[in-house]
Structure 1
């Protein structure tokens, strides 16, 4: 499986996320990032990204990452939404919003989405989280 239409629309509507990588010493590191989505992969770049801890962590072989895309369209009523993704990262050169540059390409392996339809959150409503196991692309 992969992202459904609602999740794809949400990914394309957002620009900021929080990316977690793991250092050689096992220390998790989370940082806010901009991202792009091509329908299959998420891409994280930046200005001079190869000097960042997140790129060094992946370059050192710690390829497992987590990324959370979330927002709060309203606080009255309370309307939280999110898409959380576990994946494998690799460093690639690509043409992206910052031009041709190094990017981290994240291949999703597992994801969870919550309230992407944007309904008010109340304690009397059942919380439904959609969990998806992402299958590798054929030939990958």
Structure 2
């Protein structure tokens, strides 16, 4: 499992992240809904996913790594690591295009294509009280 207990808890509590891809028109970053799978991969879905630039970027350049970022501002309160500061997890890895697959969220509304990210590197900050600083590692 590539994620720590704290990273997994943080990602499970979030609903939106940003996927960055690179294609013939250069880099692109878009907000996406996602699900963290039990095996440590991340599934991203969409209404007409295969018609999007992010999908086509991955299709055109399957060897190019993607970056997926989930972050927010930590709320004030008990147990806060860095109240009012940013916290998050960045996942860098290989993207796999899957077709005829149940969407990770909004079944019946989202198309049956999925972008699955296989993590290669994980960077997190302010999600683990025992190691709050920015740190990265291979997945």
The answer to whether the superposition gives a TM-score over 0.5 is yes
3-state SS, counterpart of residue 78 of structure 1? coil
TM-score (norm 2): 0.81
Under a length normalisation based on structure 1, what TM-score does the superposition of the two structures give? 0.80
CA shift at 1:32, angstroms?
Answer: 0.9
Aligned residue among 77, 80, 90 for 2:86: 80
Aligned to 2:30: 31
Does the CA contact (< 8 Å) of 1:68 and 1:82 recur in 2?
yes
Match of 1:113 among 93, 111, 124: 124
- 3-state SS, counterpart of residue 43 of structure 1: strand
Whether 2:107 is the aligned partner of 1:102: answer no
Q: Contact 2:7 / 2:128 at 8 angstroms: preserved in 1?
A: no
Whether the 8 Å contact between 2:34 and 2:105 is mirrored in structure 1 is no
Kindly tell me the number of residue pairs found equivalent between the two proteins: 127
Deviation of 1:79 after TM superposition, in Å, equals: 2.9
Shift of 1:2: 1.2
Distance 2:126 2:105 in 1: 28
SS in structure 2 opposite 1:7?
helix
Q: Report the Cα distance in structure 1 between the residues aligned to 2:105 and 2:90, rounded to whole angstroms.
A: 23
1:64 has 2:70 as partner? no
For structure 1, list consecutive stretches of 5 or more residues without a partner in the other structure: 119-126, 135-140
When you count strand as a share of all residues, which structure comes out higher?
Answer: 1
Q: CA deviation at 1:129?
A: 1.5
Q: Secondary structure at the match of 2:75?
A: strand
Shift in Å at residue 13 of structure 1?
A: 0.5
Give the secondary-structure state (helix, strand or coil) at the position aligned to 2:46: coil
SS of corresponding position for 1:47: coil
Alignment check: 8 A CA contact 1:3 1:132 kept = no
